[in-house]
Amino acid sequence: MSRYRGPRLRVVRRLGDLPGLTRKSARRAYPPGQHGQNRKKRSEYAIRLEEKQKLRFNYGVTEKQLLRYVRKARRVTGSTGQVLLQLLEMRLDNTIFRMGMAPTIPAARQLVNHGHVTVNGRVVNIASYQCRAGEAIAVRNREQSRKLVEANLQYPGLANLPSHLEFDKNKLVGKVNRLIEREWVALQINELLVVEYYSRQA
């Protein structure tokens, strides 16, 4: 299944606030659809599914990719849920979004795909690239690239820069210092429910 390209506010109404998907906020507080206002009590499976969908839509990954991340997190020592969040947060498109170079993760993915971003001086156009500690992420030295990012910096997606990143707005160069800590993850999510959802598949 390909990436979601449908109405974003519909997803936000169903799942709650997703800072990576859109900056807009829904006018109606209840879920979309004919029966959105009188939704009955949800089953445990439905709650786990919703948490999983939050991850999928916020980070813009497919079901197949998310399952691959869960399997990868399982192989690493430590809390599987925390490692899963770290893997998703350290993606190049998300790192660019957290630095403020793009208003949303889909916009950050477009910057990467169109070759506007360099990692350690080399152009990287793969949005799922895993950023590692010590890597320098910069805007390509082209007028078009710089103008795009400078316009985006006027209205960043999130106000606070996480502690694991640093960014120079004048030079348009950022650096990854270490792995992200759990408290800096902007998405309100219970990652343990996601791990439970995938317990039979992964």
Q: Domain of 47: which CATH number?
A: 1.10.1050.10
**DSSP 8-state code for residue 130:** B
Is residue 108 domain-resident?
Answer: yes
105 in the same domain as 60? no
pLDDT at residue 137, rounded to an integer: 93
Whether the Cβ atoms of residue 102 and residue 151 lie closer than 8 Å to each other: no
- Does residue 76 lie in a domain region? yes
Percent of the chain predicted with pLDDT > 90 = 28
CA distance 187 to 173: 25
Give the three-class secondary structure for 119: strand
Torsion of Cα atoms, 157 then 163 then 167 then 173, to 10° = -110
Which pair of structure tokens corresponds to residue 42?
């949800």
For the chain, what percent of residues have pLDDT higher than 70?
87
2 within some domain: no
Q: What is the pLDDT of residue 153?
A: 85
Identify whether residues 136 and 148 lie together within a single domain.
Answer: yes
Average model confidence (pLDDT) across the chain = 84
User: Would you state the pLDDT for residue 145?
Assistant: 87
- Ranges 19-28, 55-64, 77-86, 171-180: which has the least confidence: 19-28
Q: What is the DSSP letter of 132?
A: -
Three-state SS for 150-188 is HHHHCCCCCCCCCCCEEEECCCCEEEECCCCCHHHCCCC
List, for residues 61-94, the tens digit of each pLDDT value: 999 999 999 999 999 888 899 999 999 999 999 9
Give the pLDDT band of residue 114 (cuts 50, 70, 90): very high
Pairing mode, if any, of strands 173-176 and 117-119?
A: unpaired
Burial of 80 (0-12, 13-18, 19+ CB in 10 A): buried
Instruction: Kindly indicate the confidence band of residue 1, based on its pLDDT and cuts at 50, 70 and 90.
Output: very low
38 vs 43: which has the higher pLDDT: 43
Q: How far apart are CA 198 and CA 201, in angstroms?
A: 5
- Cβ neighbours for 186, distance < 8 A, ≥ 6 positions apart: 19, 20, 98, 158
pTM of the predicted protein model: 0.85
Q: In which domain, by residue range, is 133 found?
A: 91-178
SS3 122: strand
Q: What is the pLDDT of residue 71?
A: 92
Q: How many domains does the chain have?
A: 2
Let me know whether 59 and 112 are in one domain: no
